[in-house]
Amino acid sequence: MKNKVEYTELLISIGIFGFINGIILIFFPLFLRLSAIHHGIALPLSLVTLLDTYLLLGIFLLLSSVLFLTVRKEVTYLMYTGMFAILCIYQTIILPYSTFIFWLIFGYLIYKYFNLRQNFGNMKNLTGMREGKLRVKMFLTITKCLEWARMPHRRK
């Protein structure tokens, strides 16, 4: 029995898209900052602030995309959707010409969330059932052990 929600291929692609975006957002500012240091160029303060926020966004986007792809729980889905919304806002402000595709993906994530919500609930019930079964098994094992301990003649 699977304990993860089934994602569509498109959702997995979106997760990978976020992962790649996260890596780019981490390495692009780092590369610029290190090159500036190497060449002894003092970058404008506004650019340094922008690069720092890019780096931060990259770290959080990468983390949320990894959790989105691996853990596949409601909480990680919402984390990634939230981070993607922030990425969309960033894109709208900084690179408006590529915004449409980002908002389209965000819309799909929201649409798919309401589809998958039921599955997330089922998974929770499934986990609960599994925990229940485990408890019963443990109870039976302990009872057997106690029973065995009470009857010393069986040890021979």
Partner 1 sequence: MKKWETALLIAFFMAFAILFFAAGDFQLLRQTKTSRIGEIVHIDNVSIWFQQLSVDDSIRYMFSINESYKPLYGVDYEAGEGWKFVILNIFIANDAKEDITFHVGYMEDENGAVYYDYTPELEATTPCRPYYIIVPSGDILRYPYGGYIKLAPDRQQEFAIVYRLPLNAVPEKFHYAVSNSKWYFREVILKK
Contact flags string 15-54 toward partner 1, x per CB under 8 A:
----------------------x-xxxx-xx--xx--xx-
3-state secondary structure of 112: helix
Q: Max CA-CA distance within the chain?
A: 86
Question: Is residue 118 part of the contact set for partner 1 (CB under 8 A)?
Answer: no
The residue whose two tokens read 């959702």 is: 11
62-101 residues in contact with partner 1 (CB under 8 A) are 64, 73-75, 78-79, 82-83, 86
For 147, list phi and psi in degrees, rounded to 5. Answer: -60, -45
The residue whose two tokens read 């959790």 is: 67
Which two three-digit tokens encode residue 111? 């649409």
Question: Is residue 108 part of the contact set for partner 1 (CB under 8 A)?
Answer: no
Interaction site with partner 1 (CB under 8 A) = 37, 39-42, 44-45, 48-49, 52-53, 56-57, 60, 64, 73-75, 78-79, 82-83, 86
